Amino acid sequence: MSERVRILGLDPGLRNTGWGVITVEGTKLSYVACGVVTSDGDLDLALRLKQLHDRLTEVIRAWTPDEVAVEETFVNKDAQATLKLGQARAMSLLVPALHNLPVAEYGANQVKKTVVGVGHAEKDQVQAMVKILLPRAEFKKADAADALAIAIAHAHHRKARALASL
């Protein structure tokens, strides 16, 4: 019998960080939960980061994942926005680490290629494939669907990553 592993996928953002939890047993994927944690845009950056920290801690405590997968930051033309996204992403890396959870990182194109088969897939294509792979999944926001896609990508790559680290 295969081991059952619970994976938390995180799609970092300062305003909205999507999260999605799946279980993988052998090749079978199952939807557990998903949602979005937010920070208050009226607060100072430090307090917004604390909100993300506290809310991600709540997600980890509530859903007790075994492993975490986080989307890597892409650099865009707005350096300030990229820096803020990087700081929000730091919370997505720090909180699982504080809970002694292994964290894997995946680029957006790698996630899309794994889930859809095309590295430059559109958001609606990713959402459609997440619904096919996880028919019970109910996501109200694209950030939650993206987080589930990140978890799915990790489910497909985790064995190869483990072998590569030997």
Q: How confident is the model at residue 163 (pLDDT cuts 50, 70, 90)?
A: low
The residues carrying an active-site annotation are 11, 71, 143
**In the prediction, which pLDDT does 1 show?**
56
* Contact assessment for residue 19 and residue 59, using Cβ atoms and an 8 Å cutoff: yes
What's the whole-model pTM score?
Answer: 0.93
Say whether pLDDT at 132 is over 90.
Answer: yes
Tell me the per-residue pLDDT of 68-111, one tens digit each, with 9 for 90 and over.
999 997 767 788 888 888 999 999 999 999 999 999 999 999 99
Q: Supply the DSSP symbol for 94.
A: H
Say whether pLDDT at 151 is over 70.
Answer: yes
